[in-house]
Amino acid sequence: MSVIDSISGLFERRGVEVRGERLIKVYRNGPLEVQALRGVTVRFPPGRMYVVMGPSGSGKTTLMNLLGGVDRPTGGTVYHGDMRIDNLGDTELDDHRLDYVGFVFQTINLVPTLTAWDNVELPLLFKKVPKSKRVERVEKLLEAVGLRGKARHKPSELSGGEQQRVAIAVALANDPPIIIADEPTAELDYENARKIVDILHALALKHGKTVIVTTHDPRVAVRADKIIRLEDGVTKGEYTPVELEKAYAPTTGGSGEAGVYGLTNIVRARLARVQEEIEELRRKLVSGEIGIEEAFERYQDLQRQKRALEDLLASIGG
Ligand SMILES: Nc1ncnc2c1ncn2[C@@H]1O[C@H](COP(=O)(O)OP(=O)(O)OP(=O)(O)O)[C@@H](O)[C@H]1O
Ligand SMILES: [Mg+2]
């Protein structure tokens, strides 16, 4: 359990549904065009942690930027609850984002010359929160991420994991309903990655926020309520890591820290089972036990699962 669960009065705003509809993003560099997203429709209701996975260059960061209002789509619409945000004016969009969305990035974006405390205070200063409230809130935020003792440290005097936790405190300063984290654990070891995921998970499950995370990291993926797979700018289905989740959670008195190697075996076994099911499906189709339509639907589903598992396996080097 993370400290974040036990601090009251810090997170009062619940999440809202984040929706992207038929999102298209084309980057133009002179004569060159990159179609980063080719019609992505996604929906993220609050109270859950979602993971977006996919190969490098598949459009994950692009999608996060559009959903969070950092960038605008070439086509399609983005909603935060009932509010359409892609057609807001620049100032309106900036104000809305500052108030509504907390971003956590892979490359930690703290101000290097400021202490942890001052970094967390910045967004509150921008929002003109009065001094006494600021002090109380910064203290609670640092406590929530387990860093009260390091308030006076500058980023260079903190470990990577600690810096990322400060970055989360910064992202949470204004109590945003939506939290978007783009590969937040990419540079962290197991213990630190777990702390980050614990915090993100608690924000969704305990505080009802809308939490969307991109990752290559299976330690993050197994904790997701839903995994969305992105490939070459289009979604390739949704995937629930139920079996992985089960195998990863504390079972018969286990610690719940099965670790990456245990996970490789779990994914391999699951992959083998999916392969068997595909063979079985072929057999049934050939013998006329099931019709082509049913077989096709089932086959697509199995292929989706297979790709998601292969993705996980690749990302844990299995
Ligand atoms: N500002 C930009 N200008 C031109 N092309 C871009 C820009 N940003 C991203 N792209 C291209 O858009 C595509 C999607 O990039 P994006 O950063 O969204 O991928 P990603 O899934 O986040 O990859 P990674 O896992 O490596 O972070 C890539 O082909 C990338 O080269
Ligand atoms: Mg990226």
Contact 15, 208 (CB under 8 A): yes
The model's pTM = 0.79
For ligand 1, atom 1, name the residue with the nearest CA.
27
- Give residue 149 CA to ligand 2 midpoint distance, Å: 32
CA dist., res. 52 & res. 136, Å (int):
34
Three-state DSSP at 204 gives helix
Q: Give residue-wise pLDDT tens across range 51-107.
A: 998 888 999 999 999 999 999 999 999 999 999 999 999 999 999 999 999 999 877
Highest mean pLDDT among 10-24, 236-250, 268-282, 299-313: 10-24
Regarding whether 186 and 159 lie in a shared domain, the answer is yes
Q: Is residue 247 part of a domain?
A: no
Instruction: Please provide the average confidence, as pLDDT, over all residues in the chain.
Output: 87
For ligand 1, atom 29, name the residue with the nearest CA.
57
Q: Give residue-wise pLDDT tens across range 187-208.
A: 777 788 888 888 999 999 999 9
240, 268, 285 - which closes a domain: 240
pLDDT at 134: 95
The total number of structural domains in the chain stands at 2
Q: Which ligand has the minimum distance to the alpha carbon of residue 66?
A: 1
- Give residue 59 CA to ligand 2 midpoint distance, Å: 7
Structure tokens at 203: 């924000």
Residue span of the structural domain in which 192 resides: 3-240
Give the mutation target among 23, 34, 38, 217 for probing the ligand 1 site: most ligand atoms within 8 A of CB: 34
Q: Is residue 254 part of a domain?
A: no
CA dist., res. 253 & res. 124, Å (int):
43
The pairing of strands 234-239 and 83-84 is unpaired
Whether the per-residue pLDDT at 251 is higher than 80: the answer is no
- Report angle CA 255, 259, 260 to the nearest 5 degrees: 165
Regarding whether 287 and 165 lie in a shared domain, the answer is no
Q: Is residue 180 part of a domain?
A: yes
Q: Give residue-wise pLDDT tens across range 283-310.
A: 998 898 988 888 888 888 888 888 878 8
Task: Give CA separation, 278 vs 27, 269, 297, 317, in Å.
Answer: 39, 14, 12, 24
| Pocket of ligand 1 contains residue 56 by CB under 6 Å | yes
Regarding whether 146 and 271 lie in a shared domain, the answer is no
Three-state DSSP at 171 gives helix
- Give residue 60 CA to ligand 1 midpoint distance, Å: 8
Please report, rounded to a whole number, the percentage of residues in the chain having pLDDT higher than 70.
88
Q: Which ligand has the minimum distance to the alpha carbon of residue 234?
A: 1
Regarding whether 159 and 203 lie in a shared domain, the answer is yes
Regarding whether 305 and 170 lie in a shared domain, the answer is no
Regarding whether 208 and 89 lie in a shared domain, the answer is yes
CATH number at residue 50: 3.40.50.300
